[in-house]
Amino acid sequence: YRREGYEIWRADLVVGSQIDPTSITNPHIRAHAFEGQLFRSVLEEALHAHRVRTQVLIEGDIYAKAAVQLKKPSAQLRHLIQTFGRFTEGPWRAEQKAAALAAWLALC
């Protein structure tokens, strides 16, 4: 994008949770939590190195946070995001909806 003259200045990262992996007793689940933490930290560091601001959004809280930031009821936002899916090709599952809402928040 930069080669084409676009400036990338913001990226919002949607994550399942930000729980401390050391607080998880199940070793298998703890390993996945560490994996997520590593991926998120590497991505944030790379974005910051390119002067891209980041915000981490927790998937379960994204609609409540968006309702405050966009000054719209959560139910209305859910309906609008669902409607966006009519104009896409391919799947329109929860992760695509959360990414679309995060992109909207990044623009505001």
CA distance 20 to 42: 17
Q: Is-above-0.85 flag for pTM? A: no
Q: What is the pLDDT of residue 1?
A: 80
Q: What share of the chain is helix, strand, coil (3-state, %, to 5)?
A: 65, 10, 25
pLDDT tens digits along 42-67: 999 999 999 999 999 999 999 999 99
Token readout for 17 is 């949770």
Going by the DSSP 8-state scheme, the letter that residue 49 receives in this structure is H
CA distance 17 to 15: 6
CA distance 57 to 13: 6
Q: What is the pLDDT of residue 108?
A: 86
Mean pLDDT of 72-90: 95
